[in-house]
């Protein structure tokens, strides 16, 4: 059974995020003065073939920890989204 | 009122994703043969100060479209997550 998975990789709190800081500095010039605390991470989607939802989650967390994140500076959050959309081979929800 | 927001920026379906393809090629060597369709995007979190949830969503979608994504090749998905966590100034949920 196929499951669409979303892995969010984000910097641990306290790790400097120059990319986020740059976005934040650019916002007032565009008229957005109400935005703060910008942090930039990665959103990785894939489709996993597993027996059931817990098995899919376990394998996705293993992939996230071993391949997608640097655990020294990054943490991961895995969301199993259910079956991939009918049209897409990429599991990105069309 | 403050709202924590997550913006996912991902490539449109059909746009080549060499970063995702590289991850996918690396997976079998690590023992993950059940993973396919890897797509890499960005996950951007920030805190927005707005009157209510619809206002926060509208401004976040404006930020996402105008500053965070290249609409020629990318699409955005905005999720308003509610009030930021107590400890974090970054809204990243600690």
pLDDT tens digits, one per residue of B47-64:
999 999 999 999 999 999
- Is the Cβ pair A36, B46 closer than 8 Å? yes
Burial of B68 (0-12, 13-18, 19+ CB in 10 A): buried
Instruction: In whole angstroms, give the CA distance from residue B40 to residue B26.
Output: 14
A30 SS3 class: helix
Residue B64 contacts A, CB cutoff 8 Å: no
Domain for residue B56, yes or no? yes
A36 within domain boundaries: yes
**Cα(B75)–Cα(B12) distance, integer angstroms:** 6
pLDDT in tens, B70-83: 999 999 999 999 88
- Token pair listed for A77: 């959050």
**Residue B75 lies inside a defined structural domain of this protein:** yes
pTM of the model: 0.85
Give the closest of B24, B37, B63 to A35, CB-based. Answer: B63
Residue A26 and residue B67: Cβ atoms within 8 Å? yes
Q: Is residue A94 part of a domain?
A: no
Q: How many Cβ atoms from other residues are within 10 Å of residue A3's Cβ?
A: 23
- pLDDT value at position A60? 96
CA distance A27 to chain B (A): 8
Q: Give yes or no for B26 touching A (CB within 8 A).
A: yes
**What mean pLDDT comes out for the span A46-61?**
95
Q: Which two tokens stand for residue B56?
A: 């926060």
Domain at A45, CATH number: 3.30.1280.10
Nearest to B92 among A39, A68, A94 (CB): A39
Q: Is A7 part of a structural domain of the chain?
A: yes
**B57 has a chain A CB within 8 A of its CB:** no
Query: Which of A79, A14, A36 minimizes the C-alpha distance to B3?
Result: A36
Residue-level pLDDT at B13:
94
CA of A19: which chain B residue's CA is closest? B44
Question: Is residue B76 assigned to a domain?
Answer: yes
Widest pairwise Cα distance in chain B: 51
| B94: nearest CA partner in chain A | A13
B21 touches chain A (CB under 8 A): no
Residue A62 lies in a domain: yes
Number of domains in chain B: 1
- DSSP E strands in chain A: the ranges are 2-11, 35-49, 74-82
Residue B86's pLDDT band (cuts 50, 70, 90): low
Q: How confident is the model at residue B85 (pLDDT cuts 50, 70, 90)?
A: confident
Three state DSSP letters for B24-91: HHHCHHHCCCCEEEEEEEEEEEEEEECCCHHHHHHHHHHHHHHHHCCCCCEEEEEEEEECCCCCCCCC
Q: What is the ipTM of this complex?
A: 0.84
Query: By C-alpha distance, which of A56, B12, B80 is closest to A79?
Result: A56
Does A92 map to a domain? no
d(CA A5, CA B92): 20
Which of B46, B58, B62, B93 would best serve as a mutation to test chain A binding (most A beta carbons within 10 A)? B46
Its domain, for residue A30, covers: 2-82
């Amino acid at each position: 059974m196929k499951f669409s998975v979303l892995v969010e990789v984000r910097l641990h709190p306290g790790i400097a995020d120059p990319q986020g800081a740059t976005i934040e500095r650019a916002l007032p010039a565009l008229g957005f003065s109400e935005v703060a605390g910008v942090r930039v991470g990665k959103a990785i989607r894939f489709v996993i073939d597993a027996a059931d939802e817990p098995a899919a989650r376990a394998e996705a967390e293993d992939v996230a920890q071993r391949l997608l994140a640097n655990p020294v500076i990054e943490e991961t959050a895995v969301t199993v989204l259910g079956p991939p959309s009918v049209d897409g081979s990429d599991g990105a929800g069309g």
